Chain A
Amino acid sequence: MELNLAVDSIDNLAAAMAQVRRAQEKYAEFSQEQVDKIFKAAALAANHSRITLAKMAVKETGMGVVEDKVIKNHYAAEYIYNAYKDVKTCGVVEDDTFFGIRKIAEPMGVIAAVIPTTNPTSTAIFKALLALKTRNGIIFAPHPRAKLCTAAAAKIVYDAAVKAGAPEGIFAWIETPSLDMSTEVMQNADLILATGGPGMVHAAYSSGKPAIGVGAGNVPAVFHRSIDIAMAVSSVIVSKTFDNGMICASEQSVICDAQIYDAVKQEFTKRGCYILNADECERVRKTIVVNGALNAKIVGQAAARIAEIAGVTVPKDTKILIGEVESVDFEEEFSHEKLSPVLALYKYADFGEAIEKADRLIKDGGYGHTASIYIENCNEDLTRFENAMKACRIVVNTPSSHGGIGDLYNFKLAPSLTLGCGSWGGNSTSENVGVKHLLNIKSVAERRENMLWFRTPEKIYFKKGSLQVALAELKDVYNKKKVFIVTDEFLYKNNYTKTVEKSLDSMGIKHTTFFNVLPDPTLECAVEGAKAMAAFEPDCIVAFGGGSAMDAAKIMWVLYEHPSVDFHDLAMRFMDIRKRINPFPKMGAKANFIAIPTTAGTGSEVTPFAVITDESTGIKYPLADYELLPNIAIVDIDYMMDMPRGLTAASGIDALTHSLEAYVSMLATDYTDGIALTAIKNIFKYLPIAYKDGANEQAREKMANASTLAGMAFANAFLGICHSMAHKLGAAFHLPHGVANALLINEVIKFNATDNPKKMGTFSQYKYPKATERYAEIASFVGLGGKDDDEKTQRLLEKIDELKELIGIKRSIKDYGISEEEFMAQLDDMVEQAFDDQCTGANPRYPLMEEMREIYLNVYHG
C-alpha cells in the first residue's frame, strides 16, 4: 500500500493515523540498539539541516532571526541527542534483583504533536527525536502560519529515521492545518504534546486524552542590589534579543532595586538598548497590545521595526525598547508577555515589593512558567524569592531564554523545548518535558519477605536467689548512684522489697521507693511517680512486682525521660511497628530500667509493652515499642513462692495464651517458636502443680521461666485476637486479664483453625492459612497424639479445657456472674474495639466483626 505522510483533508486523517499506528506497532518491537541507531541518524539529519530549516521558518512566518533559529535547531538536535543517547527507553530499564523490582519501558503509541509558530522547526525536531527514542509514532499538527517549515523538519527527521531502519509511516503531518483537524488528531492520539497558546493547550486538555500542554510565560527578572550589573544587563540582553524575544522563557520585565536603578539604566543604554521617554513609552504601549491582545505585527520583530510601527525614532540597531513603568496590573500593556524585544523596567524600594511585583506578573501572564533573579551572596533573599514564586523554573544569574530550556547555563536542568508549568499553568507536569514523559513504565514487583528480628533485654538473669548477685552489677558494672524502686503497696508493706533495699544500702547506692501502684495502673499514678522521679533524679529504675507495677514503672520512665510526651501519639495503632507515624522517643538517657517480676504470667520484664489507663476518660493507652524493653530482667522465684492460688492460676494461664498466640501469629519465627513451645509444654505440666502446691520450688521455677519465655515470644511475634478480645472483655466486666484470656482461648483456636478462613491475615511471610498445622505442631510437641492436624488440634483444645478445670477457671463468661442483659449491652462496643485492638493485626485469620461477635457469644454461654 502506498504511504501518505502528508495529510491534506480531514477525510484522509483517519487513514493516516491508522498508518502511523501500524508502523508504531512494528516499532514497538525494536531493540534499544536499533532505536539508538535510528535516534542518532535522525539527530544528525536534523542537525545537518539546521540552517535550511531556520531560513524556511523565518521566511514563512516573517518572525525571528535566522541565526538564532539555527541555534534552536542545533540545540534541539544536539542537546537532546546528547542528553538521551545513553538513556534506556526500551524494555527493562532498571532491574534490582536484590529487592526484586524491575522497571520496563513501553511506548505510549501515537503522539499528537502540536507545533507553535514561534519555534516551529526546533519544536518539531525536538518532539520527533523524543518520539523516536521512545518507540512512539507521531503526527504533527502545525500552526497554519508555519505549516511548510514544520512539515519540512518532520520530513527530514522521518527520512533519516526510515533510512536507519525505522518502520515506514512512523510519522505523519497535517499539510493543511485547521483547528478541526488538530482536534481530530488529538482525540485519536494516545498522548498529546501541545506547545502553543492557551487555546491550543485548552483544546489538548479537553480532548479527553492524556496531554502535556504548555502555555504562555511572563518572566520577571529581579535585579537585587547585590548584582554584578554588567553581567546581569548583558545576560538579559542576550536572552531578550534571542530570536527577537520569541522564546516563552524570555524576560518580559526587569524589576530593579532603586539603589542600582540608574546604573542599570546606564548599562542598558551603553549596551545598545533604548530607554523610551514618556511620550514614546505611551506610543509603544498602544502598539504592543491591541484590544487586550498582543499585536501580531510586532511579534518576533526587531526593536527598530517595532519603534517604527509605533511612530518612534530609534537607532536602527537598537537591541531592546525599554519602557519605565510602575503598574504590574493587567491594564498596563507593558506588564504582558510581549514576544518581542520590548521590556518593562520597574523600580522597587524594598525586596518585598520586588517579590510582590514579580508574583503578580507571573500570576497574570505566565502562571507556573519561569522566574528569574540576579543576586549575589544573599541566600536569605534568594530563599524568599524561591519560596514566593509560583513558577516551575527559577533561574539565578542566568539569561532566562537559555536558562529555562536547560543544559546551557545549568547542566542538571533537563534540556527541553517544552517546559511544563504544573497545575498553576493547567499542565500535567511541572518539569522540562523529556523521554520519561513519553513512556509507560511498568513496575514488576516480586514478592519479598520482611526482615524480621528478635529483641530481648540485654541481660536476663534467672535462678532462685539470683537477685542479690544480679543487683551487684549496679555498682560493679554500671556504677549507679540513685535507684528509684516502683512496687505495689502489698509488696512494700510486707517487706518484699527489703532485700533490694538492703543490697542497695550495702553498695552505698541511694534509693527511694514509690509503692502507690494499684492494679490497672492509671495515668495519675504514673504522673505522680514521674514527679517523684524528677525530684529524686535516679540513674536507675527498679520495677518490682507483677504486670501492674512493671507497666506503671515503664510509663513513669517515659514521663521522666520525656516530660512533654503525648500519650495519644504514642498509643496510636500501627500496622508495622517499624513504619509507625510517631516514632517513639529514645529511652535511657537519664536512667536504666531493671524489671523484677513477682508473678509468673505477664512477661512484662522482657516485653516492649505497657498499658496505662487515663482515669479521667477510662481510655486505655497500650504503648508498644522496643524502646520500652527493660535493660535487665531478673527472674528469681524467692519472690513468687507466696503467690496466692488465684493469681497463680490467672497469671499462669495468661502465659499459656501468650505462647499459644505467639506460636500461631503471622510473625512467628524459628526464634520465637522454640521458646513458645517450651513455655507451653512446661505450663501444661507445672501450672497444676504450682496451683495445688505453691511451695513446690520446681513448679514455681518452671512457671517463672515459662512466663518469661512466653514474654520473649510475644515481644517479637506478637499476639492475636484472643488478647484483642480479652482486653475489652476484662475492661468491660473487671475480669482478671488472665481469666478473660482463658475464657476466650478455646473459641479463638476453633476460629483460627481452618484452612479456608473468610479472610487470611496480610503479611508477606504468611504464605497460606496454616493455623491448624501450627496448633497440631503444638499438640505433638506436648505429646498429645492424634492422627491428623484436625484431631491434634482437637486434643489441644481438650488439654486446655482440662488445665482450666484443674486450676479453677470457670467455663463461661456467664459463670462469672455477668448477666446476659449486661453482656449484650456492651457487646457491640466490645466487638468494634477488639477489632481495632493492636493485637488483631498479627492474628493468622483476619477477623470480621460479626465473627468476633459470634466468638464472644459462644464464650458467654460456654
Chain B
Amino acid sequence: MKFDQIIAERKNKTIYRDGDRCIKMFNKDYSKADILNEALNNARVEEIGIRIPAVLEVTMIDGQWAIAFEYIEGKTFADLMEENPADKNKYLEMMVDIQMDIHEKRCPLLTNHRDKMTHKIALTEFDHMTKYELRAHLDGMPRHNKVCHGDLHPSDIIVMPDGKYCILDWAHVTKGNASADVARTYLVFLLNNRKEEGEYYLKTFCKKADTPRQYVERWLQIVAASQSLKAKDNEGEMEYLSKIVNVVQF
C-alpha cells in the first residue's frame, strides 16, 4: 500500500488514495469497536441498493486500524457548488432528492437512531435536568425506521463519470426518523457558517416531503446535544449548541 497521496486529513484519521483503493487510517486511540462497526454498517448499506464505495478490506497497518474502500472517481457536490455558485440551489435540491431516496430504504439490522441518541445524551456534559428533558423529549418523538445517513453533506455525494451518484461516509448510518437526519444536516450547515445554504436546504426538504419545518426543528435539540460531544474544545460552538439544547417539554 502506498500512502503518499493524502485525500483528506481529520483530527483522528487520515484518508489516502492507493490506486483504485482509498484507505481510511485511524489514529491509535480510535475505538476499535467504532472502526469495525463502520465497516459493518458500510457492508450493510452496500446490500440495500444504494451506490456507495464498497469495503474491500479491514486491516491493521503499523499498529493502526485501517479500512480499504473502493476509490470513486469524480467531483463532489461541494466541488461543483464551489465551481458553479449560480447552480448551488440546484445541487441542494438534488441532495434533498438523494437523501429522500435513502430514507425510502429499509435495513433492519442497523443501529436504532433513538438508541444511539439515548447513549449520546448520557455521555454529554449537560446537567441532570437538561439530560432529563432531552431524554423525555426524545422519548416523545415519533418512531420510524428509515435509513438515515446520519451526516450527509454536499461533500459526501460524488458525481461519477457515468453521471450517476455515489454516496460516501456511512460511519454514522442508523435507522430512524428522516426529520432527525435532516436536522443533523441542517445543523452542520449552521455550524459551518453556511446559514443561507442550510435554510434553502431545509426549505426544500420540507416542501418536497410535505413536512412542517417545526417537525424537523424539534429534532435540533437532540442532534445538537449529540454534536456537543464533538465540540468540547470549541467554546463558541459549544455555546451555540447549548442554546439549542436548552428547551423544555411539559
In which size bucket is the chain A interface?
20 to 34
Interface residues on chain B, number (Cβ under 8 Å)? 24
Give chain A's interface secondary structure class. Answer: loop
Q: Which residue of B lies closest to A215 (CB)?
A: B140
Separation of A463 and B14 alpha carbons in the complex (Å) = 117
Separation of A196 and B244 alpha carbons in the complex (Å) = 22
Query: Min CB distance, B89 to chain A, in Å?
Result: 21
Asked if A200 and B247 make an inter-chain contact with CB atoms under 8 angstroms apart, the answer reads no
Q: Which residue of A lies closest to B121 (CB)?
A: A179
- Residues on A lying within 8 angstroms of B by beta carbon are 116-118, 143-145, 177-179, 196-203, 216, 246, 289-296, 299, 329-331, 339
Query: Min CB distance, B60 to chain A, in Å?
Result: 38
Task: Find the residue from B214, B216, B246 having the highest chain A CB count within 10 A.
Answer: B214
User: B248 interface residue, CB < 8 Å from A?
Assistant: yes
Separation of A299 and B133 alpha carbons in the complex (Å) = 15
Asked if B213 and A292 make an inter-chain contact with CB atoms under 8 angstroms apart, the answer reads yes
Task: Find the residue from B216, B220, B250 having the highest chain A CB count within 10 A.
Answer: B250
Q: Which residue of A lies closest to B128 (CB)?
A: A144
Q: Which residue of A lies closest to B215 (CB)?
A: A292
Q: Which residue of B lies closest to A336 (CB)?
A: B214
Q: Which residue of B lies closest to A246 (CB)?
A: B250
Note all chain A residues with C-beta closer than 8 A to B215: 292, 330
Asked if A331 and B214 make an inter-chain contact with CB atoms under 8 angstroms apart, the answer reads yes
Q: Which residue of B lies closest to A216 (CB)?
A: B250
Q: Which of B140, B213, B218 contacts A197 (CB 8 A)?
A: B140
Pairs A–B under 8 Å by Cβ, sample size 17 = A177-B132, A178-B128, A178-B132, A197-B136, A197-B140, A197-B249, A198-B139, A198-B140, A199-B136, A202-B140, A291-B221, A291-B244, A292-B220, A293-B137, A293-B247, A293-B249, A296-B246
Q: Which of A145, A179, A299 contacts B139 (CB 8 A)?
A: A179
Note all chain B residues with C-beta closer than 8 A to A198: 139-140, 249
Separation of A116 and B214 alpha carbons in the complex (Å) = 24
Separation of A707 and B158 alpha carbons in the complex (Å) = 96
Task: Find the residue from A144, A178, A196, A339 having the highest chain B CB count within 10 A.
Answer: A144
User: B109 interface residue, CB < 8 Å from A?
Assistant: no
Separation of A329 and B218 alpha carbons in the complex (Å) = 16
Q: Which residue of B lies closest to A180 (CB)?
A: B135
Note all chain A residues with C-beta closer than 8 A to B218: 291-293
- Given contacts A291-B247, A292-B214, A294-B247, whether A200 and B132 have CB atoms under 8 Å apart is no
Separation of A196 and B132 alpha carbons in the complex (Å) = 13
Separation of A296 and B249 alpha carbons in the complex (Å) = 8
Separation of A199 and B138 alpha carbons in the complex (Å) = 7
Query: Min CB distance, A587 to chain B, in Å?
Result: 59
Note all chain A residues with C-beta closer than 8 A to B212: 329-331
User: B129 interface residue, CB < 8 Å from A?
Assistant: yes
User: B217 interface residue, CB < 8 Å from A?
Assistant: yes
Note all chain A residues with C-beta closer than 8 A to B216: 292
Query: Min CB distance, A63 to chain B, in Å?
Result: 9
Asked if B247 and A199 make an inter-chain contact with CB atoms under 8 angstroms apart, the answer reads no
Note all chain B residues with C-beta closer than 8 A to A178: 128, 132
Separation of A290 and B213 alpha carbons in the complex (Å) = 12
- Residues on B lying within 8 angstroms of A by beta carbon are 128-129, 132, 135-140, 212-218, 220-221, 244, 246-250
Note all chain B residues with C-beta closer than 8 A to A331: 212-214
Separation of A177 and B214 alpha carbons in the complex (Å) = 29
Separation of A825 and B139 alpha carbons in the complex (Å) = 64
Separation of A606 and B249 alpha carbons in the complex (Å) = 74
Q: Which residue of B lies closest to A201 (CB)?
A: B140
Separation of A201 and B136 alpha carbons in the complex (Å) = 10
Q: Which residue of B lies closest to A290 (CB)?
A: B247
Q: Which residue of B lies closest to A145 (CB)?
A: B129
- Given contacts A200-B136, A200-B139, whether A294 and B214 have CB atoms under 8 Å apart is no
Separation of A216 and B137 alpha carbons in the complex (Å) = 13
Q: What 10 A-B pairs come out closest when comparing CB atoms? A: A199-B140, A292-B217, A292-B214, A198-B140, A296-B248, A199-B136, A199-B139, A330-B212, A197-B249, A292-B218
Note all chain A residues with C-beta closer than 8 A to B217: 291-293
Note all chain B residues with C-beta closer than 8 A to A197: 136-137, 140, 249-250
Separation of A179 and B138 alpha carbons in the complex (Å) = 11
Note all chain A residues with C-beta closer than 8 A to B244: 291
Note all chain A residues with C-beta closer than 8 A to B138: 199
Query: Min CB distance, A144 to chain B, in Å?
Result: 5
Note all chain B residues with C-beta closer than 8 A to A201: 140
Separation of A329 and B246 alpha carbons in the complex (Å) = 25
Separation of A295 and B218 alpha carbons in the complex (Å) = 12
Asked if A293 and B221 make an inter-chain contact with CB atoms under 8 angstroms apart, the answer reads yes
Separation of A177 and B129 alpha carbons in the complex (Å) = 9
- Given contacts A199-B249, A291-B218, whether A144 and B129 have CB atoms under 8 Å apart is yes
Separation of A331 and B211 alpha carbons in the complex (Å) = 10
Note all chain B residues with C-beta closer than 8 A to A177: 132
Note all chain A residues with C-beta closer than 8 A to B137: 197, 199, 293
Query: Min CB distance, A8 to chain B, in Å?
Result: 13
Q: Which residue of B lies closest to A178 (CB)?
A: B132
Asked if A179 and B247 make an inter-chain contact with CB atoms under 8 angstroms apart, the answer reads no
Q: Which of B128, B132, B139, B213 contacts A202 (CB 8 A)?
A: B139
Query: Min CB distance, A349 to chain B, in Å?
Result: 25
Task: Find the residue from B138, B220, B247 having the highest chain A CB count within 10 A.
Answer: B247
Separation of A117 and B139 alpha carbons in the complex (Å) = 17
Separation of A143 and B135 alpha carbons in the complex (Å) = 12
Additional 19 contacts, C-beta under 8 A, given A292-B218, A331-B212: A117-B250, A179-B135, A179-B139, A196-B136, A198-B140, A199-B137, A199-B139, A200-B140, A202-B139, A203-B136, A291-B220, A291-B244, A293-B218, A293-B247, A294-B250, A296-B246, A296-B247, A296-B248, A331-B214
